[in-house]
């Protein structure tokens, strides 16, 4: 592997960098607490010293503290100097922590903006292939951790290449955008809708069984029928779909291969589709 390839592999993804930034911000909060603890401790020590000077008969460790009056101004000056120096140190540390925290927050905001741009398909405004590679393992790990249901649905537009070649790329883009709007109107906020490539889509439905996934399928069918009636195009929009539930203990690639295999069998074995 080339050096540049190794560098790309070693660099953290944007999501990983966001996690690192959040951890660093939490560590800074811990340092804030440490500074306040040190400040309180120093104040207690200095207060004890002042009391020892102001009360000449103060007994400390069973001894009477006697202070010559001629040394009191020097002692007061020393204590005040220590207080000033400590306050300067404390303020400089707080300023450094605040500047570091502000820089991390700015980087986090910028990271999230770049992340959102890099994970969104510009045409459909759905999640793209890169987002799929980032988010699918997370959803699979969550399903394994809590033992919840997770269902994958693959969707292909039927005859999309014919529509683009016959009516032009702009018409194909409009179909793609309209179908994506249908998907966004049907699925819940917790569901993840991806444009895998071309006219292929993938939906991930957390906390959903294969039987429960039939409900959004029927809604998409109704929405597509309404689109066909309203658009009055020379062609009809239709799609094929396949469902695959996630099996606990398997990995993300297994379920993706399963749903792709089901889609391939459905389209090539001439199973009736809508």
Would you state the structure tokens that stand for residue 85, as one six-digit string?
A: 């120096």
Instruction: Round to the nearest angstrom and report the end-to-end CA distance of the chain.
Output: 46
Residue 185 has pLDDT above 60, yes or no: yes
Residue 47 has pLDDT above 60, yes or no: yes
Mean pLDDT score of the chain:
77
159 Rama class: left (phi>0) / alpha (psi -120 to 50) / beta: left
pLDDT in tens, 190-229: 899 999 988 999 999 999 999 999 999 999 999 999 999 9
Amino acid 75: pLDDT = 61
| CA 110/CA 100 separation, integer angstroms | 15
Amino acid 204: pLDDT = 95
| CA 151/CA 215 separation, integer angstroms | 13
pLDDT in tens, 127-184: 898 889 888 998 999 899 888 899 999 999 999 999 999 999 999 999 999 999 999 9
| CA 274/CA 272 separation, integer angstroms | 7
pLDDT level of residue 60 (50, 70, 90 thresholds): very low
Amino acid 57: pLDDT = 46
pLDDT level of residue 29 (50, 70, 90 thresholds): low
pLDDT in tens, 76-109: 666 677 777 777 777 777 777 777 767 767 666 6
- CA distances to 160, 185, 223 from 230, rounded to whole Å, are 19, 17, 10
**Cβ neighbours for 229, distance < 8 A, ≥ 6 positions apart:** none
Specify which residues 153 forms β-bridges with: 203, 243
Amino acid 19: pLDDT = 65
**Cβ neighbours for 130, distance < 8 A, ≥ 6 positions apart:** 118, 119
- CA distances to 62, 74, 95, 130, 184 from 57, rounded to whole Å, are 11, 20, 42, 76, 80
| CA 160/CA 173 separation, integer angstroms | 10
- Detail the DSSP E strand segments found in 20-104: 59-60, 63-64
């Amino acid at each position: 592997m080339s050096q540049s390839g190794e560098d790309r592999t070693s660099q953290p993804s944007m999501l990983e960098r966001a996690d690192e930034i959040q951890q660093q911000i939490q560590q800074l909060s811990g340092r804030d607490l440490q500074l306040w603890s040190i400040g309180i401790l120093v104040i207690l020590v200095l207060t004890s010293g002042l009391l020892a000077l102001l009360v000449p008969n103060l007994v400390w460790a069973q001894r009477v503290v006697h202070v010559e009056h001629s040394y009191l101004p020097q002692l007061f000056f020393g204590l005040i100097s220590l207080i000033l120096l400590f306050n300067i140190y404390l303020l400089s540390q707080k300023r450094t922590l605040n500047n570091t925290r502000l820089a991390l927050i700015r980087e986090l905001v910028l990271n999230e903006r770049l992340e959102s741009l890099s994970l969104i398909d510009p045409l459909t405004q759905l999640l793209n292939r890169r987002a799929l590679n980032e988010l699918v393992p997370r959803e699979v790990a969550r399903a394994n951790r809590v033992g919840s249901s997770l269902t994958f649905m693959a969707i292909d537009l039927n005859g999309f290449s014919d529509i683009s070649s016959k009516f032009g790329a702009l018409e194909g883009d409009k179909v793609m955008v309209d179908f994506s709007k249908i998907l966004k109107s049907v699925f819940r906020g917790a569901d993840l809708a991806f444009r895998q490539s071309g006219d292929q889509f993938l939906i991930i439905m957390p906390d959903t069984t294969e039987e429960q996934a039939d409900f959004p399928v029927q809604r998409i069918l109704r929405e597509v029928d309404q689109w066909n009636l309203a658009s009055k195009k020379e062609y009809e929009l239709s799609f094929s779909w396949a469902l695959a539930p996630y099996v606990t203990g398997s990995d993300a690639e297994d379920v993706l291969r399963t749903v792709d295999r089901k889609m391939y069998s459905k389209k090539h074995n001439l199973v009736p589709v809508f």
